[in-house]
Amino acid sequence: MGVFAFAIGLATQSRAGNIIDCFFPAPVKSPDSDLEQAILDQFQSGTHTLSPESVSSFVREYQPTLEPMLEADCTLTSVLLNDDVGVSSTPEAFLKLHLLSHRLALPNTLNLDGIFAHLDTVAWTTEGALAVDELAERQLTARLEQRHFEVLSVDKFPKMTNYIVPSGVRIADSSRIRLGAYLGEGTTVMPSGSINFNAAALGPNMIEGRLSQGVVLGEGSDLGGGSSTMGTLSGGGEITITIGRNCLIGANGGTGIPLGDRCTVEAGLYITAGTRVSVIDEFGTKVRTAKGRELAGASDMLFIRHSETGEVQCRTNKKAIALNDQLHAHN
């Protein structure tokens, strides 16, 4: 028996006693042998409630960043996963979301089966997580006490920046980045950009469009304003969309097929698996007609729409998209 993932943190409970939120400041994935043995010696598999005193020696030796919790009047929660199996509790769900946003795991590498069943729809407020059936009372109390009380969202997923702010990123509107998003070093997310849980911008990237669940955007690639990528949650799709290095999805364009490196999709053009595409060689000659799925994963492709006929064309494109170094400087 080993340790796949482990964390100590704080849990929020509803009045009914259900855990609706967990915060794990220093999660661990696949620890080295010394730390793994220390975890196995002291902690039990699954989710458990602990006192700060019971974990003080472990925290001081192995996770000193958690020491402030030892001095607080609080109850701690530990989660120990021996294997990467489906999600069976709310703390396990939050641990896996933390692993993604802490850059300890890439999207599509964790078993997230069952995650929706173990995440309640929660009111995320300026006073923390709140069960939806407790919201009206809290709103009235705040008004009577003349306190500012804001409901930021009502959702299963909170925004990432209330838990983790990865190094070397810029985020213009943090409400559009869900916990469980992976933002690599050098990533810039503009006000209209959004990144779902279990999706990644590996960095450096410029995100002005939408990265859907399961989509991974490679180094040096950009999403133009209003562009989108097709995830696997809607419509029963099973294809995982990846976009390679140095690609550009133009404004209001998008892709429902994987792309290799150095690919461009013209602004306003959306390529899907069923899109009929005329393949044009380097001499400007039409070679054949293919569906989008037949071109999936290839590199050096330029997708455009003929301005007179409306024909969707794929041409060779061997010029990589150059990023603006100043836009990606976060120091």
**Nearest C-alpha neighbor of 277 from the set 256, 304, 252, 250:** 304
Q: Would strands 301-305 and 264-265 be described as parallel, antiparallel, or unpaired?
A: parallel
**Is 127 an annotated catalytic residue?**
no
Contact call for residues 307 and 290 (beta carbons, < 8 A): no
Query: Of 71, 185, 208, 219, which is the active-site residue?
Result: 208
C-alpha to C-alpha distance for 244 and 207, rounded to whole angstroms: 14
What's the full length of the chain, in residues? Answer: 331
Handedness of CA 277, 278, 283, 287 (dihedral sign): positive
Contact call for residues 182 and 160 (beta carbons, < 8 A): no
C-alpha to C-alpha distance for 10 and 39, rounded to whole angstroms: 18
DSSP string, 216-255: EE-TT-EE-TT-EE--SSSTT--PPPEE-TT-EE-TT-EE
Residues with catalytic function:
208
